[in-house]
Amino acid sequence: MSFTGRVKAVGRHVDPFAIVEKLLTLASLALVAITVGGQLGEMIGVHGKVGMVVGWSIAIVYDALWIGALRMSEIAIRQRSTVGMAVMLGLSVVAVGVSATILLILGHAKVFAFVPVAAALFMGLRLFAGNVLADAGTAARIAEQSAADRNARALAAADARHLRSEATTDVLAETAGHLGEVQRQTARADVLTRAQAEINEARAKAEKRLQESEKAHGEAALAFAGRNLILTVSRPVVTASGDTPAELEGHTVVTQATPEIEPVTLPPVTEDETDMVEGGEQAPVEGGMTLQELADIEGIELPKPGVTLSDEQLAVVLRWLRYSMEPPRSYRQAQKDFRSAGFRAREERVRLTWGEIEAREAAIPTR
């Protein structure tokens, strides 16, 4: 393509109204910023560098408000929003009027006072050509597309906020769960340690009393236990008919009882063996059911270590522990293996469920 052809192609795609509008808008913003930023500080009584910073800050904020009002007016016109056009066009008219007044009163060259008005007029011409000159159907379609774009952007922003909020909520809930478990474990350890301390104190006091008693009376108690004591008891002899026999030579006939008080031997205190496994050594049951199979039969989720078990899961785990060995595990063995495997449940629940298993086992008739 020749140079002339390229120039013509570029010229066909160039919108002169848009170019002039942008140049006038930039010129208006620069003129307002220079006029306000250079004089406003002294007008409000702030001089030097501080006055310059204050003046230019106010000028930039005002320029942002002005250009923002113009752009929002364009969106409102494209979307055929009556409320938006009334608000944004009204704000644009005020901003353009204030800018023209500032340049007319404070500007060094009065001829530039109407540059903001010219920029607004060119923007109006571009919007009129692009949105108003089209037929009603095309204008409505343009408005629908613009509204759809706006709604899509709003939904995307809302989805992003929701995802951030959901992630934050999940983290807070997980953290709260961990903190609650830490507090529960801390409280449990505190109660158990205080209870053990009280037990130790009571045992120490009892041992001290026994030592003092042993020291003060131990030898005498052993000496008394080794004595052979004779107890003589005299009483009238009663006949089978209930009468007292006659006197013999002026004396009543009596009997003599000589029971001996033997030392009492206390049986040694042994450990309760009612919960011990009898019948020799234990061995795993061949072909026994796994915990997964028992859970599937009951129609429940597989019990997992480290998670508080439901009543159904607790019953399945205890049955599996008891009947996976031959002879079956005792309560103490099952409790020990239950804790070693990492399963979690309160001691009262474990004991109650174990009692129900043993009750059902005892109710099954033996053949």
CA separation for the pair 28, 35 (Å, rounded)? 11
The mean-pLDDT minimum among 7-21, 189-203, 226-240, 347-361 falls in 226-240
Across 137-146, average pLDDT: 69
Tell me: pLDDT of 10 over 60: no
What is the reported pTM? 0.31
Tell me: pLDDT of 312 over 90: yes
**pLDDT tens digit sequence for 331-359:** 999 889 999 999 998 999 999 999 999 89
CA separation for the pair 146, 154 (Å, rounded)? 12
**pLDDT tens digit sequence for 42-57:** 777 777 777 778 777 8
More confident residue, 261 or 107: 107
Q: Output the average pLDDT for the chain.
A: 75
Contact at 8 Å (CB) between 314 and 345?
yes
**pLDDT tens digit sequence for 246-256:** 444 454 444 44
Q: What angle do CA 330, 334, 338 make, to 5 degrees?
A: 175
Most confident range (mean pLDDT) of 149-158, 164-173, 186-195, 227-236 is 186-195
Torsion of CA 143, 144, 147, 151, to 10 degrees: -170
pLDDT of residue 258: 44
CA separation for the pair 22, 40 (Å, rounded)? 26
CA separation for the pair 200, 219 (Å, rounded)? 28
CA separation for the pair 257, 235 (Å, rounded)? 9
